[in-house]
Amino acid sequence: MLRHILGLAKKHPSLIPLFVFLGTGATGATLYLLRLALFSPDVCWDRNNPEPWNKLGPNDQYKFYSVNVDYDKLKKERPDF
């Protein structure tokens, strides 16, 4: 498959940007899915702890990007369970 794509790129050099952008998009999507699966509090890989979101502190950042929130300065505003 890779040999076929390289052969097409040699015959038609105008396809090279297409292959680069497709490869970059596929890599980015794969890395984002891995990030969601490994670091998201919504996914539970441990069956011994059925509620892993209770272990999160108030200053744990689990969003991908936050604009106006500084997570280091947040205080705890919830009860302990």
Q: Which one, of 4, 22, 21, lies nearest residue 12 by Cα? A: 4
Higher pLDDT, 61 or 27: 27
Predicted confidence at residue 27, as pLDDT, reads 97
Length of the chain: 81
Q: Which one, of 74, 51, 50, 76, lies nearest residue 61 by Cα? A: 74
Q: Which tens digit of pLDDT belongs to each residue from 3-43?
A: 988 888 899 999 889 999 999 999 999 999 998 888 776 67
Domain boundaries, the chain: 1-38, 44-80
pTM confidence score: 0.58
Higher pLDDT, 69 or 27: 27
Quote the CA–CA distance of 68 and 32 in Å, as a whole number. Answer: 22
> Whole-angstrom distance between the N-terminal and C-terminal Cα of the chain?
54
